[in-house]
Amino acid sequence: MRVWDQRPIEVRNLFNPAFCGLVLLRAMATFEEEDDRGIPFSLAPLILPICLHKQSREILALSTRSYFLKLISNHPQLLIGFGARAQDMLPFTFEALGLLHYLGSMQVRTDGRLKANLKGVRKSITGSNETQAIQKVAKYLGKEFARIGDRVTIYATMGVRP
């Protein structure tokens, strides 16, 4: 990964570690509402590639009352290119997680789970329409990942391996 000031301006704007961290934090917090142990570390790399991908986000945003696994089976186009997208987003996910940990907004437990610390983070979702949509889909994913409760099922459904 390039040093911050050597990255293209588009990359700096689109994959800002603070915003990516906020997206991850929203998913972590809603996961913890269902399962207070925290989100497994292995699920974190799936959040940004889904939330930041416009077509995926739009499908999920329209169907937040439906189950995630059902949505995937009804919309197989969500899986097209997902593996490559997830792999490409991995450095940005790790960078965002590192920032969250540095700021004390996230804790890594010994069992490999991530716990959110929302102290200092607004509860209300604000920003542009697009940033609000991204955060809402992140909250949906956190809730659905907790409901599913099995990382293997989620990875298999998405057609990727950890």
Tens of pLDDT, residue by residue over 96-137, are: 999 999 999 999 999 999 999 988 777 778 888 988 999 999
Cα within 13 Å of Cα(88), Cβ side: 11
Judge contact between 51 and 137, C-beta under 8 A: yes
In the predicted model, is pLDDT for residue 47 greater than 80? yes
Sheet holding 113-116, edge to edge: 39-40, 113-116, 106-108
- Looking at the chain, list the stretches that DSSP marks H as alpha helix, in order from N- to C-terminal side: 9-14, 17-34, 44-51, 54-62, 68-74, 82-103, 129-148, 151-158
Three-state DSSP class for 114?
strand
pTM higher than 0.85: yes
Judge contact between 156 and 54, C-beta under 8 A: no
Rounded CA-CA distance 38/40 in Å is 6
Region 22-30: mean pLDDT is 95
Instruction: Indicate the residue type of 145.
Output: F
Which pLDDT score, from 0 to 100, does residue 65 have? 75
Mean pLDDT of the chain: 90
Q: Where are the domains positioned within the chain?
A: 10-158
Cβ-Cβ contacts under 8 Å for 19 (sequence gap 6 or more): 131
